[in-house]
Structure 1
């Protein structure tokens, strides 16, 4: 428990070019009743392109107040700036990020948008609809993406209005992505980096059925993260593919905000 407390309160870097936020669902016994809770992971990618799990927070419910507390903790641990925050549909998170880090671009995870939209599409049409969606997120500009979204709606809107609606609701937090050059798009395209960690954590949590307390869940999650880091040759050894090109793009897009000493 002391080790976890020290880990959750350790100092972090003052700037992370990219930060990913995602959640896994766990069952925890609370006041005699087994309830579903979310374990939120925050992963920072440092200037060298190395990934670090900055912390895990278990919550009954998301919301701006909860996220404000998480981000304030990170700021108190030394974080003063994040260039791009990648997340997906977490209630209150974009507002909290804007409040604590006003210059941060909040970017929705494109793969999550595609996946959520595909839930409304029948198996036989998936290839065609996926191709139509690809035209949206590979568009060279916002105008071209809007045209591609219009084409998607024209072609499939009557049959799959739910799929089109997913894109429309995500639009404001999707379009920052279109300002990035291809090198940076590849890096921020998805929260797959954090999902690979989540996949391994799900494997060890789902065999447990439910946890007797938040503390018990936290212990297993922490040991899982420590184990993943060790397998990968230490947390500092997990680099990001294509990072140098992405970093060069960020120097131009976010002038004066990267510590390049």
Structure 2
């Protein structure tokens, strides 16, 4: 079955029939509306171009926009930012590997080049969760080739054997550092021992 990519649009609040004011939409209502729309337009929930990938893209880009707003001190298109000495300078496309597959996001930039995003850091290609998955699969005995094939099959993500090797090597480096750490002269140790004895109580009726 071919996945159909549909561009998500902003869901408008429902207007109240009495006051003519937008009624707040709960998280559950918003999710239900998005899922229903995705199904009606033939959009898959998972997989390449699916609803989860598009939602992840929206969330990440919204978070990045919030970060640069905090960094600059004013909202986008805000006249108060004129003459501030620093401003938005477009953005660059970047593909990151997430738990729902590869997601392309637009990372904003500033004219002074001082913006350091935290949600998707510079040179970061994988978000939290992917490294842990690779390490878990490696601990279960899967080869680098098998892990790469698994990620490609489940998430549609092309991850090279070299990338997987880099992830697992970081753990080995950490273990070697822990093994060579300096030891304290004294380590307090507390031993606790106990015996669990089952006692059968017989009641006598007089």
TM-score range, shorter chain: 0.3 to 0.5
TM-score normalised by structure 1 residue count = 0.29
Structure of higher CA gyration radius:
2
TM-score by structure 2 length?
0.34
Higher RCO (CA < 8 A, seq sep 6+) = 1
Report which of the two has the higher share of helix.
1
